[in-house]
């Protein structure tokens, strides 16, 4: 293999410190489902569910700082965009549609592809960022425009560590954390960069964050380890 194209070596097993696993050359930033239906006052959560979306909105400045730092440090930024369309679901999703009387096109489904609610909110991908469309909670369900799965993309780039941000804490974020840990990625979660409209569930996930899954840290820890390259 040409030395110029060699993938970075994995972390030294004897040095699994945060500083080691957060090195930019083998890290990626995952930004989960920052879509209008969750974050906009005219979106599904605020209008249909009558949810208080303020805690989710409060994550945006923190996530933006991480996105900016990732770009400067040449850390890949991967956005996920959930599509809850009934027609895209498997049997369990179809069962949920029956129980909850969900139908495409009538406003009963959040993040339906092509709608205002499906679109990404204030933080937009920059040139070179990756967008994964997914139909289940975990980001590992999704694929990019070329049909590559998240796992495929990460392996191609030699990524060992995922910094996971976004909404909602107890569903798509937590499912992505669990899936990443099961696939043996290092997981780092910045505590102010994940959010939910269900404050008690959000607090419980963070309170009982399983150290088996990864590290729950302040954003400053990540920013210190992603210097501009």
The closest alpha carbon to 100, from 84, 114, 117, belongs to 84
What Rg value do the Cα atoms of the chain yield, rounded? 17
Give the per-residue pLDDT at 182: 97
Give the per-residue pLDDT at 14: 59
The pTM score is 0.92
Give the per-residue pLDDT at 30: 98
Give the per-residue pLDDT at 7: 64
Pairwise CA distance, residues 46 & 25, whole Å:
39
- Token pair, residue 57, equals 């909105």
Give the per-residue pLDDT at 157: 97
Length of the chain: 229
Q: How many other CB atoms are found less than 10 A from the CB of residue 210?
A: 11
Could you report the average pLDDT of every consecutive run of 10 residues in the chain (229 residues)?
57 76 96 98 97 98 98 98 91 88 91 96 96 96 96 97 98 98 97 97 95 96 93
Q: Domains for the chain: give ranges and CATH numbers.
A: 3-225 (3.40.50.850)
Pairwise CA distance, residues 200 & 66, whole Å:
25
Pairwise CA distance, residues 13 & 184, whole Å:
13
Pairwise CA distance, residues 99 & 113, whole Å:
21
Location of structure tokens 């369900």: 141
């Amino acid at each position: 293999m040409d030395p110029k194209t060699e993938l970075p070596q994995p972390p030294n097993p004897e040095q699994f410190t945060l500083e080691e696993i957060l090195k930019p050359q083998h890290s990626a930033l995952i930004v989960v489902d920052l879509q209008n239906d969750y974050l906009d006052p005219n979106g599904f959560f605020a209008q249909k569910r009558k949810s208080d979306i303020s805690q989710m909105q409060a994550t945006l400045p923190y996530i933006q700082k991480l996105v900016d730092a990732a770009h400067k440090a040449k850390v890949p930024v991967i956005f996920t965009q959930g599509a809850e369309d009934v027609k895209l679901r498997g049997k369990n999703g179809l069962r949920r549609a029956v129980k909850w009387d969900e139908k495409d096109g009538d406003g009963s489904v959040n993040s339906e592809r092509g709608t205002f609610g499906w679109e990404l909110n204030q933080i937009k991908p920059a040139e070179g960022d990756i967008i994964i469309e997914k139909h289940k909670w975990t980001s590992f369900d999704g694929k990019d425009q070329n049909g590559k799965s998240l796992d495929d993309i990460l392996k191609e780039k030699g990524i060992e560590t995922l910094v996971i941000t976004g909404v909602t804490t107890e569903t798509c974020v937590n499912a992505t954390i669990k899936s990443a840990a099961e696939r043996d990625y290092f997981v780092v979660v910045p505590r102010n960069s994940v959010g939910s409209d269900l404050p008690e569930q959000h607090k419980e996930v963070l309170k009982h964050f399983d150290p088996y899954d990864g590290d729950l840290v302040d954003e400053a820890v990540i920013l210190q380890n992603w210097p501009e390259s």
